[in-house]
Structure 1
Amino acid sequence: MRVLVVGAGAIGGYFGGRMLQAGRDVTFLVRPRRASELASAGLVIKSPNGDVTLNNPPTVQADRLSDKFDVVLLSCKAFDLEDAIKSFAPAVGDKTAIIPLLNGMLHLDALDKTFGARHVLGGLCAIAATLNEKREVVQLQPMQSLGFGERAGGLSDRVRAIAETFSSAINGANASEHVMQDMWEKWVFLASLAASTSLMRTSVGNILAAPGGKDFLLGILDECSAIAADAGHAPGGPFFQRTRGLLTTEGSPMTASMFRDIKAGLPVEADHVIGDLIVRADAAKIPVPKLRTAYTHLKAYEKQRSA
């Protein structure tokens, strides 16, 4: 099975690198600068689950992409989606499956419009990883997961085939029979974490230690959960309990990648992660005052950054 990984940053570099390490047929679609970095230093992964340096990983640039691939693993940020779609479009053939690992749901509409819904699976991942100053992939915590599946539910033959390729190479990679529920539950958690830590500019533990902090965290979780429930995907069961636990762990150093991006002066996915939830809340007449405050903060940051 031929896999095209779009990008070799923290997420694409990690999951694609683990597959390449296990001998899978993986090619990275990268820009010229990243291609040069990988050619000279290799793809370097620093991880609690084991370090590895993959010399001369297979790469291709958009202007030279012509082969069709069985799977496209898409790990870009939402604000790069339009350019990413243009770059990997030549790789999509009649039987290609696209697995997007973006947050939220808006990207599904864009991918469906360009390629048709039959090509687009549901997908999500959970990993704390970044690129360091040496452009090495650094996994910050041992926890990791990668899920994928048919958006209509169930297990198809193509999902089983992808699972055979992914699961034996990536710890925590699994096919899901209910991937849309999984995606919604992740969105609820991520939006709650991103909105709170970005707005307060600090960790979950510090928010909890502040007067009213726990009520704020649980309140924003309730707002996001109400939106998901209106969409038919109410969070519940083990995932929701773990999520609530993560947001109420005293002393937790946890922050969202969105908060870390703000600290670094980088673009953020304000509209994709938070704004779209507010649009859905308005349509359902669900009050979300905490989400609105966080969104205003993020849009003000974007305005300041653009200036």
Structure 2
Amino acid sequence: MRILVIGAGATGGYFGGRLLQAGRDVTFLVRAKRAELLARNGLVIKSPAGDVTLKNPPTVLSENLKAPFDVIILSCKAYDLDDAIASFAAAVGPETAIIPFLNGMKHLDVLDAKFGIDRVMGGQCQIASMLDPQGVIQHLTPLQAMSFGERGTPKGDRARRIEAALQGAMFDAKASDVIIQEMYEKWVFLATLAGATSLMRAAAGHITAAPGGADFIRGLRAEIASVAEAAGHAPRAEFLERTGGLLFAPGSQMTASMLRDIRGNARIEADQIIGDLIRRAETNKKGALSVPLLRIVYTHLKAYESQLG
């Protein structure tokens, strides 16, 4: 199974690198500068699961894509989606499966409009990683998992065949029959963590230790969960209990990548992670949902964005 990974950054580079390490047929679609760095230094991963340097990883530039791939793993930032689509469109054939690991849900509409729902699977991953200034992928915690599944007309056992191809590469990979539910649940957790830690400029443990902090996080999560529920994907009790343990653990140093981006004066996914939740709350078929805390978070994030050059 020929796998094209879009980019070789913190997420795609990590999962693609582990697949390459396991002997899978992986190619990285990268820009010229990243291709030169990978040719010189290799794909370098530093991880609690084990460090690895993969010398001369297969790379391709967009203009050199000549034939379709079986699977395309897409993990760009949401604000780079249009550019990413233009770069890999030539690699999409009639049987290609695109697995996007982007935040939120808005990207599905964009990909469906371009490639059709039968080519665009649902996907979500759990990993904390970053690309350092030297181009090294820093995997920050032991967590490394993904799930994916069909959204359109099922194509036989395609999801299970992809699952078999991705398994055995040091991370958990599973085909899911409830992938949209899983995507909404991840969105609930991510938007809660990103919204709270970015607004307060603090890790979860510092927020919950402050007066009213735990109530703020609970209220924000409840608003976000109401949007998921209105879409028919209310978070399950087990999910809320498990992720609540992460959000409310005393002394937790957990933050979101959005806060790390803000601290680095970088672009953020305000519209995709928070703004789209507000849009869905406003357009709920049964009447607009009240999301005042989400609106405060969004105003804060857009004020930050307005200061970027």
Instruction: Give TM-score scaled by structure 2 length.
Output: 0.97
SS in 2 for 1:239: helix
- Map Cα deviations across residues 259-297 of structure 1 (whole Å, 9 max, x no partner): 100000110000001000000111221111111000000
Give, as a single letter, the amino acid of the residue that structure 2 aligns with 1:57. Answer: P
Does 6-15 or 59-68 show the bigger shift?
Answer: 59-68
SS in 1 for 2:94: strand
Q: Check the 8 A contact 1:218/1:247 in 2, yes or no.
A: no
- Residues in 2 aligned to 1:9 and 1:153: alpha-carbon distance in whole angstroms: 31
- Map Cα deviations across residues 134-173 of structure 1 (whole Å, 9 max, x no partner): 2111100001111101125989411011000101224211
- Residues in 2 aligned to 1:156 and 1:279: alpha-carbon distance in whole angstroms: 35
- Residues in 1 aligned to 2:104 and 2:151: alpha-carbon distance in whole angstroms: 14
Give, as a single letter, the amino acid of the residue that structure 1 aligns with 2:175. Answer: A
What is the match of residue 261 of structure 1?
261
- 1:295 matches 2:290: no
Q: Check the 8 A contact 2:117/2:151 in 1, yes or no.
A: no
What is the match of residue 137 of structure 2?
137
1:130 positional shift: 0.5
1:239 positional shift: 1.8
- Residues in 2 aligned to 1:87 and 1:152: alpha-carbon distance in whole angstroms: 24
Q: Check the 8 A contact 2:7/2:76 in 1, yes or no.
A: yes
- Residues in 1 aligned to 2:147 and 2:153: alpha-carbon distance in whole angstroms: 13
Q: How many equivalent pairs are there?
A: 306
SS in 2 for 1:118: coil
Show the 5 A alignment for 1:145-294: 145-151=145-151, 156-284=156-284, 285-294=288-297
SS in 2 for 1:119: coil
What is the match of residue 69 of structure 2?
69
Q: Check the 8 A contact 2:121/2:151 in 1, yes or no.
A: yes
Does 12-21 or 297-306 show the bigger shift?
Answer: 297-306
Does 50-59 or 237-246 show the bigger shift?
Answer: 237-246
SS in 2 for 1:202: coil
Give, as a single letter, the amino acid of the residue that structure 1 aligns with 2:217. Answer: L
Does 125-134 or 39-48 show the bigger shift?
Answer: 125-134
- Residues in 2 aligned to 1:249 and 1:288: alpha-carbon distance in whole angstroms: 25
Does 143-152 or 120-129 show the bigger shift?
Answer: 143-152
- Residues in 2 aligned to 1:152 and 1:87: alpha-carbon distance in whole angstroms: 24
Gaps in structure 1 of 5+ consecutive residues = none
Give, as a single letter, the amino acid of the residue that structure 2 aligns with 1:65. Answer: L
- Map Cα deviations across residues 68-99 of structure 1 (whole Å, 9 max, x no partner): 10000001000000000000000000100000
Q: Check the 8 A contact 2:99/2:123 in 1, yes or no.
A: yes
Q: Check the 8 A contact 1:154/1:177 in 2, yes or no.
A: no
1:237 positional shift: 3.0
- Residues in 2 aligned to 1:114 and 1:283: alpha-carbon distance in whole angstroms: 24
- Residues in 2 aligned to 1:170 and 1:25: alpha-carbon distance in whole angstroms: 16
Q: Check the 8 A contact 2:144/2:171 in 1, yes or no.
A: yes
Change (3 A) 1:18 1:204: same
Give, as a single letter, the amino acid of the residue that structure 1 aligns with 2:298. Answer: Y
Change (3 A) 1:92 1:84: same
SS in 2 for 1:10: coil
- Residues in 1 aligned to 2:292 and 2:52: alpha-carbon distance in whole angstroms: 46
Q: Check the 8 A contact 1:2/1:26 in 2, yes or no.
A: yes
SS in 2 for 1:94: coil
- Residues in 1 aligned to 2:71 and 2:170: alpha-carbon distance in whole angstroms: 15
Q: Check the 8 A contact 2:117/2:152 in 1, yes or no.
A: no
- Residues in 1 aligned to 2:174 and 2:70: alpha-carbon distance in whole angstroms: 18
* Cα RMSD (Å): 1.2
Gaps in structure 2 of 5+ consecutive residues = none
Instruction: Give TM-score scaled by structure 1 length.
Output: 0.98
